[in-house]
Structure 1
Amino acid sequence: MDEFDEEGDDLLSSFIEEREETALDFPFPFTPYDVQKKFMENLYLCLDRGQVGIFESPTGTGKSLSLICGALKWLRAYQEKQKRELEELITEGGKTDSPSKASGETDWIAAFVEKKEKQLNVDRAKEKWQELEKQESKLLEIRKRNQNRKRKRENVEEESESDNPRVKAENPELKVKGEGQEDSQEDEDLVPEDYYSDEEVKKEEGSDEEGEGKEDDQSHVTKIYYCSRTHSQLAQFVREIIKSPYGSNTRVLSLGSRQNLCVNEAVRKLNSVSLMNDMCLDLQKNKNKGVDPKDGSEKKRKKISSGGCPFYKQEAMEDLGNQILTEVTEMEQVVTAGRRMKACPFYTARLSLHLAEVVVLPYNILLHRAMREASGIHLQGNIVLIDEAHNLLETINAVYSVVITGAQLTKAHNQLSQYEQRFRCRLKAKNLLYVKQVLFVLNCLIRFLGGQTDEAKQRKEKMESKVLTVNQFLLNSGFDNINLFKVLQYCRKSQISKKLNGFVEKYPNCEVKIAEKPKENMGVSGFLKEIAQNKGNQAENQVMDNSKQREKTVVMRSPLAHIEGFFASLTSANKDGRIVFTKQPLLSESSLKFLQMNPAVHFGEVLSQARSVVVAGGTMQPVDEFKQQLFFAAGIGPERVHEYSCGHVIPPDHLLTLAMKTGPLGVDLDFTFAARENSRLLEELGLIVSNVCNIIPGGVVCFFPSYNYQHLVYQHWQKSGILTKLEKKKKIFQEPKLSSQVEQVLGEYSKTIQRGGSSGTGAILLCVVGGKMSEGINFSDDLGRCVIMVGMPYPNITSPELQEKMQYLNSNFPKDEQGQLPGQVHYENLCMKAVNQSIGRAIRHHNDYATILLLDKRYCRESVRGKLPAWIAKDMQKMDKYGPSIAAISKFFQGKRSAL
């Protein structure tokens, strides 16, 4: 299948020339396709050279197995190379050097220095060798212990989780702890430790870092970090490892959030990551206090230890870790084992991380620096594979973008004010100073949104949205004189948000006390009163229900920790971010958003630390934005970038791609924003879809640019009678608005197609680009014999965020080879990436076949064609007339029927 990859052949030839002495034979579960062999060879070369790779392999070509076998082949070779080099160095160091005839004092000194340096290298090699031997013996012991445990489990009846009172306990002490108590000693954990100076913090933080470094150096294993977008994709990758030749001898670990790994039902039922994190840390805190030797109270010790998490046990977690490291297991299996063994999978994963060879994890843990550090991830010298990376730039920007609402600001200000009033006399001067600074900043942010913290004020302003640079925002909001770096340092060191969280939990009735005059209108005080009438999360839920915003609202007992993230974003370089503020009629619904503009500033840390980084996907076009905005902007030179793109494994006659300019009535297919509501165009579209459904068997998937447009078209077809015609041939399904209904709709769609297989009927599924059906769902075989793309899904050009992004790109990046401004290129790329993901839902394996219909005359432009996946674009036909189009479709499926 040489026709699929001319570029790959060139790369491979240079690879073979450089490695003639080494015949690379990749273990594979079956005979690989040519494109898989070339993929693995190029991946090996990329990792061995420490390059940055962009790898494109269409869905259905076995990309996951190619990544696994190519990367693990390199890892095994690298491990052997390390051992061989250490042995050689130690052996050479053991030989006695023959005395050289020194001609003078200078030669004698040089020889001494050389000998000393050589001895140091030998000593380091011996230490590394001892570390490797220690590692191997530890792993051997782990395997033996795990085998013994399995034998015991076979002979002993497993204890039912439901009968275990420790698991069923919901820790009632934690729910209403301290209510009605005024014991100042019990409030000690709510007061921050003494905070003397910023210099002291730096000194202590430095010592912590040194300690962590020593611990990490004890056992370093070269790792492959594999990350993808969803947990289902990560689970599928682990299953592919199990099926591969490396499944029995590779240590694989799955990292995730508490939401995915926690097994304590009292914590899991909180249904919020932030609340789960807070509760988990509270449980640990209480358990630690229970074993504090300074606490002489036996009664208190017993009470507190009973509040600790029953799954946070060192011995049980070690046993679970041993099982994970000796058997490749999916995350769900780890959670099940954690319940059975009464061990916490979340902390087990972190305890076992240093011995793992392959670590699978979601995007956010890898891409966010704070989450990497919290998870114990060290990228130095390791490999990073980022799969499904087509939206990597947008993902990085989203990870570092922060939204805070007026509701969160007022709630945090109120809580911290109550906290400061209660503990004012017990706070040291430095603590009190910084608490007041945080209150001042919160007050400035509330006022910036048009609110007041001391009186109710009628809000009659209309909705307003504006974008500012970070410096402009700091000046306009009135706290540009505050050193946010020091404020953040204080917040981290004192853990003030955690203390405030405990305060709100312990004194829920003290959360809001407003003694202002009653006002009928909803100002800040009125909003706070509304919160006061509800307890805990009920108040936050009330705010969410009343809000018309569709963005996710952070639900937590105290939002200060989330607001700290916004503070941190304000310390970014002025050119790298923007502040988008939106004023609504109600303060609670107004918002501030930090918009990350430069993903390279954060991804650069990953690129500089890791040995090699590979971004891979089924459709990586257009790749220029990866190189310009991620790699080159982060300081990576063009010579270090390794590109590889392969064709599909299907025969050329298994895919028919048509770009259609007109319909049966001769109306131009112009779905631009200005023309797409034309009734003649809607009628023309209906006739095309109806005629296609008469010809094509099985399932047809039709993508629209937006939900609103899909609804408009559906309503028009309903009135014109086109839906009635469609229903005679295929049952009609629509993409549901709720994610919980997706599986049900897909199930009914699949059953309908299976039932209609013999009669040649089937179903049509109306979807939305960028919706729930456009990514991660496979419409293979009869589920997707035809994919129809209606129009081009360009984003809203009037969006302030998009306009600011385009302006930023125009100011910081050069024009492309065609002279287009980078902002305009970005605008087009957003559209084409969405198109590529949608049309890639069809053709999922070697024997699959389908047709792709691009219904818009703009698809006939060469500039648009160039941004389609190469394996689709190379055989795409431009159809000026409708008749030849429908004839080509009919001929295509007649040929497939006769071949069967």
Structure 2
Amino acid sequence: MPTYKIRGIDVDFPYEAYDSQIVYMDKVIQSLQENCNALLESPTGTGKTLCLLCATLAWRRSFGNFRFGLSMNAGDKSEDKTEILPSSLPSSPPSQSESSGLPTIVYTSRTHSQIRQVIQELKRSSYRPKMIVLGSREQLCIHDKVKSLHGKTQTNACRALCQKRRGKQRCNHLPQVADYLKSNPHLGEEPVDIEDLVNIGKSFGPCPYYLSKELHKSVDIVFAPYNYLIDHAYRKSLQLSWSNSILIFDEAHNLEGICADAASFDLPSWLLTACISEAQKCVDLSIERREKSNDKSQNPDDFAILRALLLKLEKRIAQVPIESKELGYTKPGPYIYELLADLNITSKTFKKLSAIIAAASTLIEEDNQQKSTGTICRLDSIGEILDIVFKGGRTTHATYYRVHVREFEARTANGSKGNVSRTLSWWCFNPGIAMEEFHRLGVRSIILTSGTLSPMDSFAQELKLDFPIQLENPHVITPNQIWAGVVPVGPSGRTFNSSYRTRDSQEYRQELGNAIVNLARIVPDGLLVFFPSYYLLDQCIGCWKSLSNETSTSIWERICKHKKPVIEPRESSLFPSSIKDYISKLKDTSTSGAVFFAVCRGKVSEGLDFADHAGRAVVITGLPYATYTDPKVRLKREYLDQQSHPRGELVKVLTGDEWYNQQASRAVNQAVGRVIRHRHDYGAIIFCDERFAHPHRQSQVSRWIQPHIKCFSRFGEVVYTLTRFFRDVTIRGPTKLSLLEVDDGGNVGEITSADPYDDKFNVEKLLSPVATPVAESLGTRKGSTSFLGKIMPANRSSLASDDCNIVDCVSSRDKCGRIFLGKKTVISQEHELVDLTDTRQLGEKSKDTLIAPCSVKKRRFITGEYNLQQQFRDSHEPSCGSGELQCKDEGTFQKRSLEIDSQRGDLPGDSAPSATNETQGSAFLAQVVFIICDTLICLHA
């Protein structure tokens, strides 16, 4: 295993590292050594997670060996505890981290599924720190009754059972925690996941939830979803020693939005009405219990007071004067305390009210269990709102908020107008509040990293933190693996611009549709098309389906001729079925693949890997600006503009317009990141909007893409270069990058490969790291030379088995054969001519005349499976269920043969296309054929 000395730290790395990986680890170690924060962007597939783990753990090991054994202790003394552990667990002296001064690493990511992938990366390294994964009761509880509950209802039920010392209703799993830890003191010295803890609980009896809470007090590294840290109440219950700790946010591209949302609330009228009904239900239940069983544990007067307060709040919201439905009613943030003070809810009384709400929640849950109903307690939301408003008993943070009341008419099931409803909102416009709290707790360094942090300026300014160390890493792919271009015009020369001025025109939608028809012919396998909004997606598809007559097919029918379409649904519940549909259509060999029509900021653009054949190209149809008139967007812009007014400060402050533009750019970068998911992958990035041609707009695109972007003045040039790109990359395959090593003196030098690429292309090197959407564990590697070509991208790809029988074949300019022993032979098929026309159907004679110089055979897949369903379930669920991620890909491959006729015939001139149906597209086709033939003649000459 190679060892690199970086800034005096010996870093063990499982494989020979690329130069970009060494630079990344250098920045991580620099931030830790200098006690400062870092903002690190590295594209997906560059191994950033593995680099982050190895660099951080190597730095930590330089202070001393990793912890071992078990120390049952109390925890952090810097924050008050809201959750007291049951008395059956022993208390003990201060934690190891406090007594030894060794820093604790807190590694967070967005979801539990991403944490699971991080732990898989840890298993690949040589580091074995004492570790634990934190999970909620929903993931860890194994009690037969409690595990089916949710939220605070589950928390309250768990605490109630744990507090009972005797009886059948007590939890039998909690008392076994201490005994199990004593008999297994080395638990956590090998990587342990949530599923492992659950299996321990089911097999040996201890409660997995409290097992993790005890273990995390004496570990070197803690893994958790980052909402556990952002949520103020949950963070206080962690009992971590925050002083001198290292805080890492992986996949942090949405961190600012999550921080702001976690500190905000919306209270619609229907929810408040439901809470009032539940308060009345608690009054009735408590009275009924007193009458039947003389149970006086619950006071009906408390619930009556709660109901009266909620009724008064409902009345106050209804009395708010709203002159304009578009603008609503807006007040400064501190107004919320004035509103609640009228209800006698203050920082001194809210704790008593919270206790009443918790009692009400328990009472309702007990009643639901008796009646076997799965109703969710709505009163919990009122308790959460009070926690947000009176966070930590402080009110100074209210200046970063705005109170807003909006009114709208509810719609009935048949679409008719319903009752008028109102929503009370308290919106946080300073996501840096959570980060400032970590600074107050004495965190040593905060590292934010992701594949799509760009544009990075707004990130630092929004989070109100200094990031002296910033990095925008290049990709590990070579230039021949990416095609990136701005397409400002369509096949007929009409301009692409999705702004509100042009997006509703029939000409724009038709031109965009014709462009996608052509791209569907050129791009092999999976094609992703992202729209700025669901509105534009629905309007365009509706237009494409309606434009047809007796002499021509519709745009939609011509898209379906080449790729079977799938449309991203608005409803989250329908999304898993759409993923399954896309997978099945992608494997269907009757067409050249599938096309997924999706929306920026939607479910497709976040958290799913469309590696290899699942995504060979992504089309961005416009800039996904947030709705300008949305009250939250409008108030955010106003807030930033007020903060940016000159105050004699030299520090640049983000303005409302800058934030508005950068949010759109970040959504584009996130969508673009769905393709080219590992170092052996390749694909195209197509910007179908003239605004991307502006240098300022391109500067907002991820840094690794910028050098590859080209602007095309004619659509014919796009067709030609894109066709050649996929032809060449299929024949040639990705070339190998140079590797670097760092000697003991810190000098960086290039490693010379023992088997460099030459005219023969090695199929094993190209296909052995077959890309799958989810990482799988690697087998043991022996010998440094075997590492070349087998460097594993973090979180994304797995390698085929080492003993896979694949034969190298020689490739030439006009032929490329591939043989797979033991596999299904590639099926050939009569080639289909590529039709580059738009709405007009050509006869066979016309096709032969116009398209003869270029033809592409349809692809045929070998066996292959895409496990995007499992990806979706894990990456989009707020909590991760049990089950192990699996994905099989035995080398899905396409056979594509390109036959070029170099003979040049008489071609029409470079005249502009006519707008008539008879001639539309002919001149465009002539331009494409002219360019192709002219180039081929030059090549043969």
Decide: shared fold, TM above 0.5. Answer: yes
The match for 1:308 among 162, 171, 195 is 171
The match for 1:574 among 398, 405, 408 is 398
Provide the residue aligned with 1:604 in structure 2. Answer: 436
- 8 Å CA contact retained: 2:153, 2:361: no
SS at match of 1:605: helix
Please show how residues 213-224 of structure 1 align to structure 2 within 5 Å: 215-216=94-95, 217=98, 222-224=103-105
CA distance in 2, matches of 1:738, 1:432: 40
- 8 Å CA contact retained: 1:264, 1:311: no
Deviations 1:214-249 (A, max 9, x none): 644567752211111111111100110011111xx2
CA distance in 1, matches of 2:24, 2:717: 38
Write 1 or 2 for the structure with the bigger share of helix. Answer: 1
CA distance in 1, matches of 2:33, 2:81: 39
CA distance in 2, matches of 1:838, 1:623: 17
Matched, 1:282 2:160: yes
CA distance in 2, matches of 1:380, 1:643: 24
Shift of the 337–421 alpha-carbon distance from structure 1 to 2, 3 Å rule, reads closer
For residue 444 of structure 1, what is the amino acid of its counterpart? K
Q: Which runs of 5+ in 1 are unaligned?
A: 1-11, 81-131, 142-201, 291-303, 453-460, 510-533, 542-554
Deviations 1:708-745 (A, max 9, x none): 32222222212221121122211212224454554454
CA distance in 2, matches of 1:571, 1:307: 40
- 8 Å CA contact retained: 1:501, 1:558: yes
Following superposition, the deviation at residue 363 of structure 1 comes to 1.5
Shift of the 306–814 alpha-carbon distance from structure 1 to 2, 3 Å rule, reads same
Deviations 1:252-277 (A, max 9, x none): 2111211111122312223x223221
Following superposition, the deviation at residue 621 of structure 1 comes to 0.8
Following superposition, the deviation at residue 653 of structure 1 comes to 2.1
Following superposition, the deviation at residue 310 of structure 1 comes to 4.0
Following superposition, the deviation at residue 799 of structure 1 comes to 0.7
Following superposition, the deviation at residue 612 of structure 1 comes to 0.6
CA distance in 2, matches of 1:840, 1:789: 11
- 8 Å CA contact retained: 2:429, 2:639: yes
- 8 Å CA contact retained: 1:577, 1:596: yes
Following superposition, the deviation at residue 351 of structure 1 comes to 0.7
SS at match of 1:314: helix
- 8 Å CA contact retained: 1:317, 1:345: no
Following superposition, the deviation at residue 500 of structure 1 comes to 2.9
Please show how residues 330-479 of structure 1 align to structure 2 within 5 Å: 330-404=193-267, 405-411=271-277, 414=280, 441-450=309-318, 465-475=328-338, 477=339, 479=341
Matched, 1:710 2:537: yes
For residue 356 of structure 1, what is the amino acid of its counterpart? V
CA distance in 1, matches of 2:276, 2:202: 40
Following superposition, the deviation at residue 589 of structure 1 comes to 5.6
Following superposition, the deviation at residue 814 of structure 1 comes to 5.6
Deviations 1:590-633 (A, max 9, x none): 4322211112222111134211100001011111122222134x
- 8 Å CA contact retained: 1:316, 1:342: no
Matched, 1:592 2:416: no
Shift of the 500–745 alpha-carbon distance from structure 1 to 2, 3 Å rule, reads closer
- 8 Å CA contact retained: 1:324, 1:334: no
CA distance in 2, matches of 1:753, 1:560: 46
Percent sequence identity over aligned pairs: 25
For residue 37 of structure 2, what is the amino acid of its counterpart? V
Deviations 1:131-164 (A, max 9, x none): x9xx75658x9xxxxxxxxxxxxxxxxxxxxxxx
The match for 1:50 among 35, 53, 62 is 35
Please give the root-mean-square deviation of Cα atoms over the aligned residues, in Å.
4.0
SS at match of 1:449: helix
Shift of the 325–485 alpha-carbon distance from structure 1 to 2, 3 Å rule, reads same
CA distance in 2, matches of 1:847, 1:505: 53
CA distance in 2, matches of 1:727, 1:502: 54
Deviations 1:430-488 (A, max 9, x none): x9999898666534311122289xxxxxxxx999943322333444x473584611013
Please show how residues 376-775 of structure 1 align to structure 2 within 5 Å: 376-404=239-267, 405-411=271-277, 414=280, 441-450=309-318, 465-475=328-338, 477=339, 479-480=341-342, 482=344, 484-491=346-353, 495-504=355-364, 555-556=377-378, 560-565=382-387, 567-568=389-390, 571-583=395-407, 590-608=422-440, 609-632=442-465, 636=466, 641-720=468-547, 721-739=554-572, 741-756=574-589, 761-775=592-606
For residue 357 of structure 1, what is the amino acid of its counterpart? D
For residue 668 of structure 1, what is the amino acid of its counterpart? T
Question: How many pairs were matched up?
Answer: 689
- 8 Å CA contact retained: 1:792, 1:831: yes
Shift of the 478–258 alpha-carbon distance from structure 1 to 2, 3 Å rule, reads closer
CA distance in 2, matches of 1:481, 1:275: 26
Provide the residue aligned with 1:192 in structure 2. Answer: none
Following superposition, the deviation at residue 417 of structure 1 comes to 6.3
Matched, 1:245 2:126: yes
CA distance in 2, matches of 1:400, 1:321: 40
CA distance in 2, matches of 1:600, 1:213: 35
Provide the residue aligned with 2:615 in structure 1. Answer: 784
Shift of the 138–281 alpha-carbon distance from structure 1 to 2, 3 Å rule, reads closer
SS at match of 1:691: helix
For residue 546 of structure 2, what is the amino acid of its counterpart? K
- 8 Å CA contact retained: 1:701, 1:788: yes
Please show how residues 122-201 of structure 1 align to structure 2 within 5 Å: 136=68, 138=70
Provide the residue aligned with 2:824 in structure 1. Answer: none
SS at match of 1:233: helix
- 8 Å CA contact retained: 2:526, 2:586: yes
- 8 Å CA contact retained: 1:228, 1:386: yes
Q: TM-score scaled to structure 1, two decimals?
A: 0.70
CA distance in 1, matches of 2:530, 2:132: 37
Deviations 1:21-44 (A, max 9, x none): x3x442111111111111111111
CA distance in 2, matches of 1:334, 1:655: 42
Shift of the 306–204 alpha-carbon distance from structure 1 to 2, 3 Å rule, reads closer
For residue 332 of structure 1, what is the amino acid of its counterpart? E
SS at match of 1:256: coil
SS at match of 1:675: coil
Provide the residue aligned with 1:256 in structure 2. Answer: 135
CA distance in 2, matches of 1:284, 1:32: 50
Q: TM-score scaled to structure 2, two decimals?
A: 0.67
CA distance in 1, matches of 2:207, 2:407: 44
CA distance in 2, matches of 1:761, 1:713: 22
Deviations 1:763-818 (A, max 9, x none): 11111111111011111112111100111111111011111111111111368999
Deviations 1:334-377 (A, max 9, x none): 22222122221111110111111111101111112211111223
Following superposition, the deviation at residue 748 of structure 1 comes to 4.4
Deviations 1:165-195 (A, max 9, x none): xxxxxxxxxxxxxxxxxxxxxxxxxxxxxxx
Shift of the 449–423 alpha-carbon distance from structure 1 to 2, 3 Å rule, reads farther
